[in-house]
Amino acid sequence: MGGLIGAQLLVAVALAVLSALLSGGAAALSALSGATICVAGNAYFLWRASRIRGGRQPRRMVNNFYRAAAGKFGLTVALFVAAFVLVPPSNPALFFGAYVATQFAHWLAPWLLRKRSTP
């Protein structure tokens, strides 16, 4: 869990700092909001999907996986709605760009974090 979510958190902080340096605090808040939505959804999925372990209960594992995916989707939608209702992003391009960049980091993390074999 730590590697994938850690990579996303690293991207989220880097994007917020870069946005703050280039465009100010409001832009950094927009980028951080978008990235946080992505991290929160993926952290929920990881927590929920890993609740059942072992090969004795494959049906429960698959059901947990589907529930985790549905919960992640619901949480992500709810957080997007909350972000636009409670704190509308000052820079929607940074908001959505940070979400996509953070999700992209999640897709690349297994490749970036794999252990290199020594020849």
Percentage helix, strand, coil, to 5, in the chain? 80, 0, 20
pLDDT digits (tens, 9 = 90+) for 45-88: 988 888 776 667 778 888 888 999 999 999 999 999 999 898 88
Q: How confident is the model at residue 119 (pLDDT cuts 50, 70, 90)?
A: low
- Assign 87 to helix, strand or coil: coil
Are 101 and 15 in contact by the 8 Å Cβ rule? The answer is: yes
Q: How large is the average pLDDT for residues 101-105?
A: 89
* pLDDT tops 80 at residue 10: yes
Higher pLDDT, 118 or 90: 90
* pLDDT tops 70 at residue 112: no
Q: How large is the average pLDDT for residues 1-6?
A: 72
- The pLDDT of residue 107: 77
pLDDT digits (tens, 9 = 90+) for 18-55: 988 998 888 898 999 999 999 999 999 988 888 776 66
Are 80 and 34 in contact by the 8 Å Cβ rule? The answer is: no
Q: How many beta carbons lie within 10 A of that of residue 29, not counting itself?
A: 19
